[in-house]
Amino acid sequence: MASAHDRAVLQAIFNPTTPFGDVPALNQEEELIDDDRGFDMELLKQVRELEMRGVSAAEAGELQAALQLFSQAVHILPQRASAYNNRAQALRLLGDTAGALQDLDQAISLSGGTGRSACQALVQRGLLRRLACQNDEARADFEKAAALGSEFARQQAVLLNPYAALCNKMLSEVINNLRNPKMPDME
């Protein structure tokens, strides 16, 4: 079995535009989950059902119905991050970016910046901030989500980091020159 260093070297060779050592899922040993232990089990079951129905409604294009279901879930367990995260997605799809950002901020706050809901909310907020040309704030969100294990967020953080982009470009050029050496002109 290859060591972490071996995988990092192979990653640098085969994907020279990613930072050295940036091996997908290297630091994430288990899937992210939200800690729902502090909630009443009956209310939690009810809220999860509402969220599943909301996701199904959103997937069917019934965004207003999805929004209502997610809002019911928020009303039942206002201290649980997941429903805010889901409602933010519905709000964003309905064009309410300000409302989506408010719910994402709440999801991140309630989650304590850990778990699946925090990771998803940070990625969503990063994307909204990037669309608003708030690249420094977007990069900070992507870096936090990347630290939680999101490969997509890691890629976005690299794209928004001017130093990493410059280093990656130079490394790519060096590797390209090693693969395809330029022969001196003979006149």
* Helices and strands in the chain: count of H runs, count of E runs: 9, 0
Mean pLDDT to the nearest integer, 84-88: 96
The rounded distance, in Å, linking the Cα atoms of 15 and 94 is: 37
DSSP 47-67: HHHHHHHHHHHHHTT-HHHHH
Residue 28: the pLDDT is: 45
Closest to 34 in 3D by CA, of 52, 49, 46, 48: 48
Q: What residues contact residue 104 under an 8 Å CB cut-off, 6+ apart?
A: 84, 85, 88, 121, 124, 125, 128
C-alpha dihedral (20, 21, 24, 26), degrees to nearest 10: 180
- pLDDT for 38-56, tens place per residue? 899 999 999 999 999 999 9
Give residue limits of the domains in the chain. 38-112
Cβ contact 93:103 at 8 Å: no
Question: Where does the pLDDT of residue 22 fall: very low under 50, low under 70, confident under 90, or very high at 90 and above?
Answer: very low
Q: What is the DSSP letter of 19?
A: P
Q: Which amino acid is at 40?
A: D
Question: Where does the pLDDT of residue 23 fall: very low under 50, low under 70, confident under 90, or very high at 90 and above?
Answer: very low
Cβ contact 81:73 at 8 Å: no
Q: Maximum Cα–Cα distance for the chain, whole Å?
A: 84
Which has more confidence, 22 or 182?
A: 182
In CATH terms, is domain 38-112 a member of 3.40.50.720?
no
The rounded distance, in Å, linking the Cα atoms of 122 and 131 is: 14
Angle between helix axes 115-131 and 81-93 (nearest 10 degrees) is 30
Q: Choose the weakest-confidence range: 59-68, 93-102, 159-168.
A: 159-168
Question: Where does the pLDDT of residue 178 fall: very low under 50, low under 70, confident under 90, or very high at 90 and above?
Answer: confident
